[in-house]
Structure 1
Amino acid sequence: MKAILFLFLSILLFEAPTIEKDRERWKPYYTEVTPQKVADKWFLPFDVADRKKVSNIKIISIFGDHRDSYYKGHIHTAIDINPSQPKAKLINVYAMAHGVVCSVHLGENQKTVVVKHTLKDGKDMFTSYKHLKEVYVSNGQQVDQNTKLARLFTKEESKKYGGDYHHLHLEIRKKFDDYGCASWLTFNNNQLNKRFYNPQFFLKENIK
């Protein structure tokens, strides 16, 4: 009886994490920097035969479905992708356009690099690259489509974490006011549409 009462009280007292409550924890990893060049040409984030051909990637998981990892029921804020024909066992990840690294955060199987871009109309947006084994850039570094940001896990390396981490979780972001935590704390479409574009649509519109 005491155990049941303790469990009931624990449930009552437990506060589910929210973006607003968690964002400050990730703010120290963010650097406010300005890209030196406008992002006017976009490329696939992999070293493939043609980085302007969307069919050179394969989509493993779509944007907007519900997930049980991290916090059960959160919405997938990205597409998970791999090269359709990898050139090598070790798959490198490249910046998609001119920009500047504004955040390198998380660790282990969730290492993340975020690049800030300025568009032709002066607006800012962000590309976020997650599930990185090794990171080769740092905050404040100006990048372009030829900058190697990181590399992905191999299948063998990802087994250590009991999951499928040998892919790129690619987010196309309207804003980065959450400093990264919205990746696992987005639970409704209002939150999703406030911060994220559908990467699949973005690629089709901009990789030409």
Structure 2
Amino acid sequence: MRLFLFLLSTTLWFQNPTIEQDRGRWKPYYTDVNPAKIADKWFLPFDIGDRRKRSNLKIISIFGDHRNSYVKGHIHTAIDINPANPKSELIAVYPMANGVVCSIHLGENQRTVVVRHKLPNGSTMFTSYKHLKEVYVTNGQNVNPNTKIARLFTKLESKKYGGDYHHLHLEIRKKFDDFGCASWLTFNETQLSDRFYNPQMFIKENLIN
């Protein structure tokens, strides 16, 4: 009976660990390096006519929704977005500002690139880009808004995973102490507000109409 309970508790832990329990698995993918340039101007993460104009963005799903995808019951820590008028079926992804790539983790339809930014006041923040089909950068690489970091899945490529991954999951992060796992292990408002900004509000405050 004890063995059964131990195996059951171990199985449940792996199914639904906490952020503190899971963060260690993702730390090896993190590179602790400072950006070479200040992030002093922000852009939309796509190749579109005016990357400063937020009306060029199509929002598919919002920040803070409760989800049953990936880990059941987690809170959506991002907005899911696409260009309002894509130039091509192959949609490239670019950093929102100057920064340095500090993590490339997960695989398949969850492939993720995280960029660390240094703000004019000396503080640090992060942008995270998920659901990437191809990644063109490496850990420790300094990037700017014109650096192509990845591309998204096409609709056809997305069908392999259920047909719902041809968009960018965009996170704006206050910190990255979880090394990525809070993206799917955030379950309450305290955890959400501790690590994440609302990307819609951030874009509204830093870009134009």
TM-score, length basis structure 1 = 0.94
Name the counterpart of 2:165: 165
**Equivalent residue, structure 1, for 2:26:** 26
How many residues get paired?
Answer: 202
SS at match of 1:148: coil
Distance 1:49 1:13, change over 3 A: closer
Task: Note the C-alpha offset of 1:11.
Answer: 6.7
3-state SS of paired residue (2:171): strand
- Runs of 4+ in structure 1 displaced over 4 angstroms? none
Aligned counterparts of 1:24 and 1:12: Cα–Cα separation in 2: 17
- Structure 1 pair 12–88 and aligned structure 2 pair: CA distance change class (3 A): closer
Superposed displacement of residue 71, structure 1: 1.2
Match of 2:133 in 1: 133
- Cα deviation, 1:126-162, whole Å, max 9, x if unaligned, reads 0000000000000010000000010000000000011
Equivalent positions of 1:100-139 (< 5 A) are 100-139=100-139
Q: What's the CA shift string for 1:76-97, capped at 9, x where partnerless? A: 0000000000001100000110
Deviation, 1:70, is 1.4
Give the distance between the partners of 1:12 and 1:29, measured in 2 at CA.
24
Are the counterparts in 1 of residues 155 and 163 from structure 2 also a CA contact under 8 Å?
Answer: no
Alignment partner, residue 72 of structure 1? 72
1:50 maps to what in 2?
50
Q: 1:176-195, aligned counterparts within 5 Å? A: 176-195=176-195
The AA in structure 1 aligned to 2:8 is S
Q: How does 1:137-152 map to 2 (within 5 A)?
A: 137-152=137-152
1:14 is displaced (CA, Å) by 2.6
RMSD between aligned residues = 1.5
Q: What's the counterpart of residue 96 of structure 1?
A: 96
Counterparts of 2:133 and 2:10 in 1: how far apart (Å)?
38
Instruction: Determine helix, strand or coil for the equivalent of 1:116.
Output: strand
Deviation of 1:24 after TM superposition, in Å, equals 0.3
Residue type of the alignment partner of 1:106: L
Letter in 2 for 1:147: T
CA–CA distance in structure 1, aligned partners of residues 58 and 127 of structure 2: 18
Q: TM-score, normalised by structure 2?
A: 0.93
Tell me the distance in 1 between the aligned counterparts of 2:150 and 2:10: 42
Instruction: Please list every run of 5 or more consecutive structure 2 residues that lacks an aligned counterpart in the other structure.
Output: none
Q: Decide which structure has greater strand share.
A: 1
Contact 2:135 2:151 (C-alpha < 8 Å) held by counterparts: yes
- C-alpha distance in 1 between matches for 2:39 and 2:87: 27
Could you say which residue in structure 2 is the equivalent of 1:203? 203
Quote how far apart the aligned CAs of 1:10 are: 3.2
Aligned partner of residue 41 in structure 1, secondary structure: coil
Amino acid at match of 1:154: T
Q: Residue type matched to 2:119 in 1?
A: L
- Alignment-mate amino acid for residue 119 of structure 1: L
Identity %: 75
Is this contact kept in 1: 2:103–2:115, CA < 8 A?
A: yes
SS at match of 2:200: helix
